[in-house]
Structure formats: structure tokens, C-alpha cells
Structure 1
Amino acid sequence: MRGSVVMRGHVVPVAGEPLRDGTVLVQDGRISYVGPTSRAPRVDRTVTEVHVGDGTVLPGMVDAHVHLVADGSADFMGSIVRSDPEQLAAVARANSVRALRAGTVAVRDLGAPGDIAITLGRDVAAGRLPGAAVAAAGRAITAPGGHIPYLGTEVRGEAAMADAAREELARGADGIKLVATGGVLTPSVAIGDAPYTEAELAAAAAVARAAGRWVAAHAIGIEGTKRALRAGATTIEHGVHLDDETVGLMASTGAMLVTTRMALVRMLRNADAIEPAVLAKGEEIQGVTIESLRRAARAGIPIAGASDAGTPFNPHGGVAEEAVLLVRDIGLPTLDAVRAVTATAARCLLRDDLGHLSPGAPGHLVVTGGNPLDDITALTDVRSVVVAGRVVEGAGNR
């Protein structure tokens, strides 16, 4: 259902200059005016007014990397493999609602069993279920014995890779996920593992790109990252090992970097509860991750912030913390960090209509306490959430 709402006060449109005394008007679910309050059109009593006070109006946030079937259990894999499809679907639905209430209006799910995330995305889009919009990769494409097989399909060979991509798209996926390297949460697979040849990765990527879809590459080890970029990845997920050559490849191919630093930070905060082999991997990449992300930022690579929600001690709805880490650890200016979890993240989903306040865009907005441009931690203080001009019940974290 679509509604009408007006907000007056400090506004950060992301697509334009901040407004100290601004107004955002949403009518019939879409933004009809963004600008100075002095020039705002009059509204009648049917339009709901949301109190902004000393807060700030911003676009709804976008989380470019989540796993909806997981809820932050210490045993990430076990929580998934021990659950049946109906249980996993229920978890995914609850996590989508949780994300929305925290101000995240859209997520990109990068690996789920079967078509759970795809089906949820359809149901939310059709209005059959509440929650954040879902752009889903369906099952991640991973090598036999590779990283996160329980979230994907195990495939080897160029023809089979292309067929796997076609199958996920035919099932309704919005893009594909390629597991191009090892990962932290699979103890038996080295981080530097590069299981696919460039040709194998390119066979799958070509199918998705020909259909106008995105290609997300799980990329922690350096060799697999380079192969994924040359093969046609549109986004590099995590970006732990980025040397000058890799950053140059990102610049030349136009690939975006999706940072998920908060997943590692939250895991290490709870080190006593993490499997030793997993913890050792996390500690190994802690320092190099920061330097890699700084290298990409200095080179002007587009950076999208994401949470990797569902991983250990990392529940859904916390992507604002990634923006805080991008400022604190990577040195991004506050406005760039806000863009990272709004407009730039939306580009990863190929949703140029999201992540900014512009006439004609969907009326998805949040009100934060304080001004994130003065103090980025204000972004974590969500007071109100509006979707398509309707106030979300139970939203906010105060």
C-alpha cells in the first residue's frame, strides 16, 4: 500500500546538497518534492507529518550483502544445515522485517538454500509479506569442496558454470554469486584458495551480464579476486587482499567494492565463542583488510558498505555500523560513508531508484537522531522508517 507523508527539518538527500531547513513530501508512495521548506507545496490534512525534531531525514539504507537464512548464531553453518526449508524460510522472513525496522529498505542476499531468498523477494515485492526488498542471488555457485556449499550449488567446468548461472536466473534470481576464493567461515578451505579458472568464472558471468544482471564475487584471496575481475564480476565482496594491480583492475572494469568489515569486527568481539580455526583466519586478515580498503578508497573505487548479516554475532539490520567503520578505520568522509550504505549500495543491486531523495523516487526514508554528517554514529540511531509513504510500525531503535 502507498501513502503520503511530509517531513520537515534537516535533510540529507544524498543526491544533492544537505538542507538545513528542508522538506520532503511523499505522495502516493513516491517523492514529489525535496527542497527548502520556504518553497514547499502546501499539504492537506490527509498527509501524515513525521516529527523530525533535531534529527535528520535520509534515504532508507541499502545492505548490499546479507544471508537472510541465518540470524547471527555463533555456529553459522550449523544453524543452517540443521534447519529444514520451512524453518529457514521463517528465519528469512523475520530477518527481512528486522532489517526494515532498523532502516534498511533493501538487501542483496548472496547465498541461500533452494529458492528461499528468491521467493521472499517476490512476496515482499508483491506486498504479500512485510520486510525489506530482496535482490537475491539464489544459490551461490561454489566449487566442489569449496566455501559455503550449504548456501550454494557445487559446480566445476565452463559448461556447468554457465548452466548453473542460467538455472539460478531461470528460478528468479536477480544476479549471481560466484565463490572465487576460500573464506573465513570454512575452516577446511584456505583463504587463498582459487578453485576456478578465469574461463570458468567468465562462463557464468557472461550469462548473467548478457541478461543485464549483476555478478557478485566472493573474493578474499588475491589470485581468485583478480580472476573474478577479469572474468566480469560487477562487485567484489569483502576485498581483503587488494594490491595495486587488483585495484587497477577494479578501476578499469568498473567493479564496485562491497566492504563487510563489521562482520569480522563483531566476530572478533566474541572471540571466546568462535571455533579456533575460524578465529585464526579472522585474526590473520584483520590488519590487511584495513590497508586493502584504504588502498581502494585512495584510488577512488566506488565503495558500498554491507553487513554480511547472518554471520556469527552479526544480526540483521546493522548496516549503519559499516558506515561508522568506513569513517573510523578507512578514513572516508562522512557523506561518502552515508552514500556507501545508500546510493552506492543500491547501485550494486542495479536499483538506481533507491538510496537518494529525489522527485519520482520511492518514498523510502529514515529519520536519525542527530546529524550523521557531523557524527557518523548518528546513523545507527534510527528513530522512524517510512516505506512508500507509510510509517513502519515498530521501527527505530530507541
Structure 2
Amino acid sequence: MWFIVPPAPHGRPGRLRSAAVTDTVLLLRGTVVPVASPPIADGAVVVADGLVSYVGPASRAPRLSPDTTEVDVGGGTIIPGLIDAHVHLVADGSPDFPGEVAGASPQHLALKAYANTARALRHGIVAVRDLGAPEHAAIAAGREIADGRLMGAEVAAAGRAITAPGGHISYLGVEARGEEQMAEAARQELRHGAAGIKLVATGGVLTPGVAPDGAPFDESELAAAAAVARAAGRWVAAHAIGSEGAKRALRAGATTIEHGSFLDREAIDLMASTGAVLVSTRIAQLRILQNKEHIEDSAVRRAEEVYAANIESVRDAARAGIPVAAASDAGTPFNPHGSVAEEGALLVDDIGLSNETALQAVTSTAARCLHRPDLGHLSPGAMGHVVVTTGNPLDDIRALAHVRTVIAAGRPVRPLLG
């Protein structure tokens, strides 16, 4: 079984710990890429009581008890578990994204959400940030995982996305207008257990009749909701394809900008001054364009308008030093869960990030989006979420898609010698 460390005084959720692995100790030997420190060619990682207890040269690894499980990963590489900073757990990638969600029962949505966390975990994704689910289904799935009743990737969920009346992804959220309603909507999501909130600050690709770069909320409305979340120490994710909506959200207190397809210099400067992270979801756009014969024509046209602009926008932000997190936007058309490694590869191929920076994008930078400093790196005291890939992602980022072993809080999910 699993348990949660009690919440800290500021009210943030506790860390996932595993009671089942209290006496379990794992020692992995091989090439180690800790992310937060330099690679170690002949290294070792020890996971005890669900946490990393040692990272360093294999020759200096601590003496352990005879029942310690030792694994030589051979030509594999030991890295932190991956993180997908933007998903929709209630959808599987159907061509009809709204239709897959609308009208489904809370029980069906929660079961689907859990199944998708399990799929993500098998692909080496140890934590996801869900940015919009009706009926608080993603929160419910995350709670079952945290309480040990189910096994899947950890879930940091926004609950229902807060959108304007008739706005983008209303089927994944709650509609609000005006400062009072916006603040109350944020309070409701936090009361239901949300780890942060999602503000729909612009239109989007998949909502007919709503311009992707439209900005439906005033800055004061966005700020009213953001203030509630930030006062509770929670993150504020802003869906922002257009520049005006992004700038309003950043001035209002957004901690991340999702998608960011038409960011101008002022928006990028605001990201730099506020410390916001840009969350890239290029794989979602690519999946639509690769399968356009199965998707509604207006959505395809909007995806085509956004695609090239998104490359330029993310490149400009990265060159300006803005931290970029990788995310899949999984659940959108033809975009199943477990594909964040492909987003990492697109950041190298399309955006020009180095392999090292792209690895950070799916680990430590993504962890910033979740406000989880204990994730995304291998260091003493970090969560014992470890992945072994067949190759070294510092040599070829595509190695992230070839996962041999997954260890979640010290518990093997995929075979130790698989």
C-alpha cells in the first residue's frame, strides 16, 4: 500500500511515499544522468524507503544489507522519471475530443483517467499535470493513486478549467465571467483538491467559432482567480495561444503559459520578468495535421495557422532564456497518453534545443510546472522515481522513447532486467 506525507503548513499536498517499499532497497549500476548534476559514466543510484538515498560513483556506493536488490543496467542509462506537464486524462485520443468527454458519467471519466495514468507510467512518465477534466475526474484518479488503491503516474490536477461563457474547452471546465465569479471558480477547484488552476486565456484549435488568438478575459478577471491560487501556494496554468491573452495572464500571475503560439517580444519579456515557464505541446498539433482527413475541417485550418507560428514562438522564447517544459497535451485527437518523449524529440528537431536541455524539459523543468522540487532529478532525498533507457538521451534524445525499466517510489513497474 501507499501513503501520503501530511500536508505542509502552507497547505500544499504531501509527497507520495510507499509504505510497501519501506524495507525495500534497490541499487542500480551503470551510466547515470542525474539531470541536476553532471553525468556519471560508472555510477550508481540507491533507492531506499521510496526515496533516492545515494547518487554517485559505483565505487563509493554505500554498503547495503544482503537483501538489497542490485541491478547492472549494462548499456542502459539511468535517468529520473519523466514528467508530462500538460495532459487531459479523461480522453484517449479520439478524433472527436469533445464527444469523447461530453455526457460521460463521472465513474466512466474517473476510470478512464486512471487507465491513462497507468499507460503513462508504463512509458516512464511518473507524474502528469492534468489541465482540464469535468466532474473532477482527474482529481479523483490522482487521489486513488496517492492513497495506494491504484497504481499509476502521480497526478497534479487543475480540476475543471476556468473558461469564458461559450469559450474554449467548456466541456472540460466551468464557465465564469467577472472578478467575483472567477475568484469563486478558483476557490471551488481548490476545495475539491486541485493542485493548481487552469485559466483559458485565449481561444483554441478545437473549439469552433472561437478564434485561437482571441482574449476573452480582462486582466482583472484573470488576476482574481490567480490570486486565490497563488495565495494557497498553488500553480496557475494559462492556456494562451495568442499574445494578448498570454500577456494578460502573465500580468495577472500565471506561472506557466501553455502552447504559446503567437508570443511577441513583450510577452517573452514578461515571461522573463515573472519567471513563468513556457509549456510546449507541439506533438498535439502535429497529430492533428498527420490525421487531418479524420478531423473537422475548421480545426485542421486552425491547426495549420498555429503550427508554423508555434515553432517561431517557442524558438524565440528559448533563445531568450525562457525555460521550456515538454508536454504532450495527451487526450487530444490521435494523441494517446505516454508520448511526452516524442515532444522532447520535437524540441530538439524543431526548436533547436540541445539534448541536455530537452531532457530537462521532460524532467526538472516540467517539475517546476508542478511545484515539485522533489521530482525530475536524481539526488539524495528526491522521490525514488527512476527510469532506465536503452540508450543515452544526452547522445540521442530519442532514447527517451525506449524505456526498459520504470521504478516508481522504489517499486518496479516494468521489469528490472526488461
Bin the TM-score by the shorter chain: over 0.9
Task: Indicate the residue corresponding to 2:259 in structure 1.
Answer: 238
Residue 5 of structure 2: aligned partner? none
SS of residue in 1 equivalent to 2:317 = helix
Structure 1 CA distance, aligned partners of 2:333 and 2:70? 39
Which of 339, 356, 359 matches 1:318?
Answer: 339
How big is the shift at 1:82? 4.1
What residue identity is the alignment partner of 1:150?
A: Y
Give secondary structure in 1 for the equivalent of 2:303.
helix
Shifted more, 97-106 versus 39-48: the winner is 39-48
Q: Which moved more, 1:344-353 or 1:80-89?
A: 80-89
SS of structure 2 residue aligned to 1:289: helix
CA distance in 2, matches of 1:369, 1:318: 17
**Cα distance, 1:353 vs structure 2:** 0.2
Shift of 1:313: 0.7
Residues 164, 216 of structure 2: 8 Å contact kept: yes
User: 1:138 maps to which residue?
Assistant: 159
Question: Per the alignment, in what secondary structure is the counterpart of residue 385 of structure 1?
Answer: strand
- Which amino acid in 2 is paired with 1:228? A
Shift of the 395–276 alpha-carbon distance from structure 1 to 2, 3 Å rule, reads farther
Unaligned regions of 5+ residues in structure 2, if any?
1-19
Query: For each residue in 1:90-122, what CA deviation from the matched residue of structure 2 results, as whole angstroms up to 9, or x when unmatched?
Result: 110100000011100000000000221111111
Which among 111, 131, 134 is matched to residue 110 of structure 1?
131
- What CA deviation, in whole Å up to 9, does each residue of 1:348-391 have, x standing for no partner? 00000000000011110000011110111111101100011111
Distance 1:228 1:175 in 2: 15
Residues 35-44 or 68-77, more deviating: 35-44
Once the 2 structures are TM-superposed, how far is the Cα of residue 395 of structure 1 from its aligned partner?
9.4
1:35 correspondence with 2:35: no
2:215 to 194, 201, 204: 194
- Code of the residue aligned with 1:232 in structure 2: it is G
Residue identity matched to 2:180:
A
Q: What is the alpha-carbon distance in structure 1 between the residues aligned to residue 184 and residue 247 of structure 2?
A: 23
Matches of 1:311 and 1:395, distance apart in 2: 32
Show the counterpart of 1:295: 316
Equivalence for 2:6: none
Question: In structure 1, which of residues 147, 165, 169 is the aligned counterpart of residue 190 of structure 2?
Answer: 169
The question of whether the paired residues in 1 share the 8 Å contact of 2:201 and 2:238 is answered with yes
Q: Post-superposition shift, 1:83?
A: 2.1
Return the alpha-carbon distance in structure 2 between the equivalents of residues 221 and 8 of structure 1.
47
Cα distance in 2 for residues equivalent to 1:288 and 1:394: 42
Q: 2:370 aligns with which of 338, 344, 349?
A: 349
SS at match of 1:53: strand
Q: Residue 384 of structure 1 corresponds to which residue in structure 2?
A: 405
Go from structure 1 to structure 2 and tell me whether the alpha carbon gap of 1:90 and 1:395 turns closer, same or farther (over 3 Å shift).
Answer: farther
Superimposed CA distance per residue, residues 156-209 of structure 1 (whole angstroms, 9 cap, x where no aligned partner): 001110011111111111100000000001122111211100000000001111
What CA distance in whole angstroms lies between the structure 2 residues aligned with 1:4 and 1:339? 27
**Correspondence list, 1:142-161, <5 A:** 142-161=163-182
The answer to whether the 8 A contact 2:29-2:42 is kept is yes
Cα drift, residue 5 of structure 1: 1.0
Gaps of 5+ in 1: none
Which residue of 2 is the match for residue 331 of structure 1?
Answer: 352
Opposite residue 31 of structure 1, the aligned amino acid is V
Could you give the per-residue CA deviations for residues 136-161 of structure 1, whole angstroms, max 9, x where no partner exists?
10000000000000100000001110
- The answer on whether the counterparts of 2:111 and 2:141 sit within 8 Å (CA) in structure 1 is no
- Give the alignment partner of residue 100 of structure 2, picking from 75, 79, 87: 79
In the alignment of these two chains, the number of paired residues is: 397
Alignment of 1:307 with 2:300, yes or no, is no
What residue number does 2:284 align with?
A: 263
Residue of structure 1 in register with 2:302 after alignment = 281
2:117 equivalent to 1:96? yes
Q: In 1, Cα distance between the equivalents of 2:297 and 2:322?
A: 34
**Corresponding residue SS for 2:73:** coil
- 1:217 matched to 2:251? The reply is no
Instruction: Select which of 21, 27, 52 maps to 1:6.
Output: 27
Aligned partners of 1:103 and 1:395 also within 8 Å: no
Q: What SS does structure 2 have at the residue aligned with 1:54?
A: strand
Percent identity between matched residues is 66
What TM-score do the two structures reach when normalised by structure 2? 0.93
AA partner of residue 68 (structure 1): L
In the alignment, the residues of structure 1 paired with residue 137 and residue 100 of structure 2 have an alpha-carbon distance, to the nearest angstrom, of 15
Residue 34 of structure 2 contacts residue 377 of structure 2 at CA under 8 Å; is this kept in 1?
yes
Give the corresponding residue for 2:7: none
Aligned 8 A contact 2:404 2:415 in 1: no
> 2-side partners of 1:209 and 1:124: how far apart?
25
CA contact (8 A) 1:101 1:395 kept: no
Partner of 2:83: 62
- For 1:28, the aligned partner's letter is D
Instruction: Note if contact 2:407-2:414 (Cα within 8 Å) is conserved in structure 1.
Output: no
Residue in 2 that maps onto 1:181? 202
DSSP 3-state at the match of 2:126: strand
Over aligned residue pairs, what C-alpha RMSD do you find?
1.3
Q: Distance in 2 between matches of 1:286 and 1:177?
A: 23
Q: Is the 8 A contact 2:404 2:414 kept in 1?
A: no
Report the residue type matching 2:391 in the other structure: G
C-alpha separation in 1, matches of 2:259 and 2:66: 47
Q: 2:284, 2:330 within 8 Å by CA — same for their partners in 1?
A: yes
Deviation at 1:393, TM superposition (A): 4.1
3-state DSSP of counterpart to 2:79: strand
